[in-house]
Amino acid sequence: MNLSEKELSRLIKQGENESVEFKSSRVRPESLSREIVAFANTNGGTLIIGIEDDGFIAGVSLKKNFEEWVANVTRNNVVPAINIKTSKIEVNKKKLIVLSIPKGVDRPYQTIEDKYYLRVGSTNRTATKSELLRLFQASGVFHYDLTPVKNTSIKSLNLGKLDDYFQKYQFGFMEEEESQKKQLLQNIDVLTANNEATLGGLLIFGINPTKGLPQNGISFAYFKGTEIDDELLDKKVIEGTLDTQIDTLSVLLTKYLAAPSKIVGNKRVDSKAVYPEKVFRELITNAVVHRNYSISGSKTRVFLFEDRLEVISPGRLPNTITIEKLPYGVSFAVNPVVVKFMENLRYIDQLGRGLPMVSQEAKKAGKKVVFQELGEEFKVILEL
């Protein structure tokens, strides 16, 4: 972020918040590293050196090479080391050091004291176990869909569906002995070594996935107007395996979004542009396949308004993915087990072509599609 003196003055007047932090010129390396780690682990931010706790602009001494000092802190006190932009800007005839800290691509970051911090409001705090797990999942180091689901076994799986799946490869799954079935399911990550169903296996082949995974499913609501407190025309919770959820909601959306028509001359024509069904399928598929299932208290949500469709999935974007990249195609498997099976079932490909297709169809229809990352959620807003 290249800030002018005027922009920096306005930032200082706003005070400290979730994206701005002030530090005295006397700041110690361990304190600075905590701030950098917290910003990098969250959504990035701006740190200004030369401002006291009470907001007084004291400036920094020109005798100290702050640029070199900051570079040493980011290299020696932050793990892994992080590159940040450091600039010197004068405000009210006082020299300030401005650090522009990006949302880190190598999250999670920690201090040399092995502490992981997050930015919350205008303060930092250590990450909880569940927050740290999400950070590791976003980095691709840990995959939550490989974890076992408690109180499950091979009996929790739809063996008929598994047999249909294997028949595509000319393999008779049901003809195998019980021990061989378990071994095979372990080999393809549907069962763990302890014969519990993996989260990914349960989402694709489970008899009742929501029993072990209450966060599974889609909450759908259809509103008459444009606000969430307008009249509710329909409300459903769609559960089952991921392919069932996608098929069910796609049909529902196609029904509600069928183009109204009118008579023009001797012909009946559509009175407004509509999207092909593949657009809705892609948005639903993307939401349920790539969501963060470690966030246990929240289902995927789909809201249909008079002027737009909102699809909200729990979880932030992975480290290497940005909002700006989405319309051009990106590919990253947050849930590799789920992605593997959904690709084999022909619901997705791993070429990252889905969201670019949605963007192109919206452009063709003269509409807008907006991608947003809000806290621990990713939202797509499709204009209708």
Does the domain made of 5-127 have the CATH classification 3.30.950.30?
yes
- pLDDT over threshold 70, residue 263: no
For 224-252, what is the mean pLDDT? 95
For 159-186, what is the mean pLDDT? 92
Q: Evaluate whether 5-127 and 218-383 have a shared fold.
A: no
Choice among 142-146, 171-175, 328-332 with the minimum mean pLDDT: 328-332
How many distinct helices (H) and strands (E) make up the chain? 12, 16
194 vs 152: CA distance, rounded Å:
10
For 25-48, what is the mean pLDDT? 95
- Mapping DSSP to helix (H, G, I), strand (E, B) and coil, where does residue 377 land? strand
277 vs 284: CA distance, rounded Å:
11
The residue among 17 and 1 whose pLDDT is bigger is: 17
Percent of the chain having pLDDT more than 90? 68
The full set of domain ranges for the chain reads 5-127, 144-212, 218-383
pLDDT value of residue 331:
65
* Residue 53's pLDDT band (cuts 50, 70, 90): confident
Q: Are 180 and 212 in contact (CB under 8 A)?
A: no
Choice among 19-23, 77-81, 130-134, 298-302 with the minimum mean pLDDT: 130-134
Choice among 35-39, 140-144, 183-187, 314-318 with the minimum mean pLDDT: 140-144
pLDDT value of residue 234:
95
pLDDT value of residue 375:
79
369 vs 281: CA distance, rounded Å:
15
| pTM above threshold 0.75 | no
57 phi and psi angles, rounded to 5 deg = -85, 100
| β-strand partners of 382 | 309, 369
Choice among 63-72, 118-127, 137-146, 214-223 with the minimum mean pLDDT: 137-146
* Residue 268's pLDDT band (cuts 50, 70, 90): low
206 phi and psi angles, rounded to 5 deg = -70, 150
* Architecture of the domain spanning 218-383: 2-Layer Sandwich (3.30)
Left, alpha or beta for 342 (phi > 0: left; psi -120 to 50: alpha)? alpha
Mind listing the pLDDT tens digit for each residue in 318-353? 766 778 878 777 667 789 899 999 999 989 875 668
